[in-house]
Amino acid sequence: MELTAQFFDARCLKPRCGPTPLSFTGAPKGVIMPDVSQFPVLHTRAATVLRNTSRPIILVGFQHQGNLGLGYLASTLRQHGYSVVICDIEAPPDQIVATAMQSNPMIIGFSLIFQFYILQYQRIIGMLREAGVQCHFTMGGHFPSLSHVQTLKMVPELDSVVRFEGEMTLLELADVIGNGHDWRTVPGIAYRMGDAISTTPMRSLVDDLDQFPYPDRNYEPETAIGHKALPLLASRGCARTCSFCSIQTFYRTAPGKIVRTRKPALVVEEMRSLYLDRGIKIFLFQDDDFPLFGPVWRRWAADFVSELHRSGLSSRVIWKMNCRADSVDPAVFASLRDAGLYLVYMGLESGNEEGLKTLHKQVTVEQNLRAVQLLKQVGLLFEFGFMLFDPGSTLDSVRTNINFLRTILADGCAAAVFCRMLPYDGTPIKDELERVGRLKGDVVKPDYDFLDPRVTALYHSLSSIVDVWGWIHGYRALSPQLNWVSNEIAIMERMCPALPGLPDLKQTVRRLTQESNDILFQVVDELLNIAVNGGATTWTNAKLDRHRRQFLDQLLDARNAYVSLHQNALLDSLQIDASLSRIDEPAIA
């Protein structure tokens, strides 16, 4: 096994599994949340039914970096006797069609993660119908759940939409269709009735997450410096109400308890099983907001830490999670660190008070700054989401945001990343933009105007000069690769703490990160000054790309040389301790 070659292709680092978006109590002013108490509800019920499992069910969705949603659907169906075939939406369309033709499925379910991909799904669904696949087509996900009318109109080949959490609804849909009964009686779906769109009574969110089997993970794990990584869930739902996030709307529109947690002992038992059975040493918690905020969730986190120590995993595995800035507490995070936490993703989103109000983050700039400082003091790596532009942006707010990034990244702890807020369907901010006539574009490319035309000009100038897909976003982009090497260093610090020279590599990467950030900030500063005073920029795409390539060459040369020098020690660290299999069964209250 040769580690250097394993991780690089055309001088490109493999990026970390991205965190799920965060969202967060209290609706924004002027936003009317649906009164679900007035909606018809069918609670999840476990019934003994006769099942016709002679035909498989095909699930189609993104599989890159793992898809726990598809995994839970598949494992639930299999638990009840159905055979399931999972197709990656990024596979060649002809291959998906061939699989469907060979399998003769009862149902094909399409998992739509982001609304921007609906046209891609539309094309494949059309190809399936043209090829003569006549089984039931259904679709689920945030956008189909919240915009079921639009989904059924945009994809007329669909028979139904499964709304909100889909495990029990898809299972019942399969039971009913398999037995030749009327599937339009299944709760939790939307479908056409002539020219109209009808919905059945909504199904309540599943209260007991521990009733589900472990999700299907029939794919190769991601790897980081040779260590295998897989996604995991400890909870579902989000208690916060960020105006830009459809997650909070998703869990508030459906009836039932918004946030539900699994038993800590069962989460740790799943981790132990994956460690022993598949050699997983890095766990990527995909919870929208890891259970930390408030006394109840703090007790949950304390129990989780205790279980990790009791199991012996705390010294053998590491893990990443997502949280809010107002959840960061030095004592709590020190205990999490000692139980294996090494990476924290925070949705900081804005460095100015007005931006945080627009996004309804319900935190302050001071809380964001304090959270970053505390994570540094505790010795935890952090990454973050940040919206340099939002619908309320002014030239002053953009400058304040850049100065905020300068402050938190001054030591080169992370590469600068930022984006423009996009108005997703089902979000309060999208509805408000539509109400005041500022919403533009369509489902695939939603857009809006800034209130100040100078901000619009600044945004377009920055987009044209800084190739964000070469600097901030994408596999070959500079910032993700700088962050990825920092991630590798943090893993080596935990898994191979005695490696010589690691502090020197860390210092080199931080220096490159500082220099990269400084150039990016210089570009924004100059464009801001031009927006205020006029003039022409001294920056060009070619000039920036030269800097980018120089940084990448230095980064990859330093990283590859270190990995090559210490390859034997790194390979030794990949071993699994089989003695964990002798641990007592978890103590479940």
Residue 190 has pLDDT above 70, yes or no: yes
Q: What is the pLDDT of residue 584?
A: 54
Q: Poorest-confidence range of 461-465, 509-513, 578-582? A: 578-582
pLDDT-derived band of residue 43, with 50, 70 and 90 as boundaries? very low
* CATH code matching the domain that covers 10-21+208-220+228-572, chosen among 3.90.1150.10, 3.80.30.20, 3.40.630.30, 3.30.200.20: 3.80.30.20
Q: Among 414, 294, 301, 419, which Cα is nearest to 349's?
A: 419
**Residue predicted with more confidence, 234 or 10:** 234
Q: Poorest-confidence range of 21-25, 349-353, 556-560? A: 21-25
- Kindly state the tokens that stand for 159: 């028979």
Q: Among 423, 445, 444, which Cα is nearest to 434's?
A: 423
Distance CA 350, CA 201 (A): 39
Beta bridge partners of 318: 282
**Phi, psi (degrees; rounded to nearest 5) at 136:** -70, 130
Prediction pTM value: 0.91
Do residues 389 and 455 touch, judged by C-beta distance below 8 A? yes
Neighbours of 417 (CB within 10 A): 23
Q: What is the mean pLDDT of residues 465-476?
A: 80
Q: What is the pLDDT of residue 46?
A: 42
Distance CA 535, CA 527 (A): 9
Q: Poorest-confidence range of 8-17, 70-79, 252-261, 388-397? A: 8-17
Beta bridge partners of 447: 440
Domains 10-21+208-220+228-572 and 44-203 share a fold: no
| pLDDT digits 0-9 by tens, 301-341 | 999 999 999 999 999 999 999 999 999 999 999 999 999 99
CB half-sphere exposure, 324, CA atoms < 13 A? 25
Give residue limits of the domains in the chain: 10-21+208-220+228-572, 44-203
pLDDT-derived band of residue 29, with 50, 70 and 90 as boundaries? very low
Distance CA 67, CA 80 (A): 21
CATH code for the part of the protein at 44-203: 3.40.50.280
Q: Helix, strand or coil for residue 174?
A: helix
pLDDT-derived band of residue 198, with 50, 70 and 90 as boundaries? very high
Q: What is the mean pLDDT of residues 181-209?
A: 97
User: What proportions of the chain, in percent to the nearest 5, are helix, strand and coil?
Assistant: 45, 15, 40
| pLDDT digits 0-9 by tens, 404-453 | 999 999 999 999 999 999 999 999 999 999 999 999 999 999 999 999 99
377 exposure class (CB count in 10 Å sphere: 0-12, 13-18, 19+): exposed
Residue 588 has pLDDT above 70, yes or no: no
Residue 476 has pLDDT above 60, yes or no: yes
Q: What is the mean pLDDT of residues 543-570?
A: 96
Handedness of CA 539, 543, 545, 546 (dihedral sign): negative
Q: What is the mean pLDDT of residues 491-511?
A: 97
| pLDDT digits 0-9 by tens, 135-183 | 999 999 999 999 999 999 999 999 999 999 999 999 999 999 999 999 9
| pLDDT over 90, % of the chain | 85
Distance CA 111, CA 69 (A): 8
Q: Please list, in sequence order, all residues whose beta carbon lies within 8 angstroms of the beta carbon of residue 452, skipping any fewer than 6 positions away.
A: 393, 394, 395
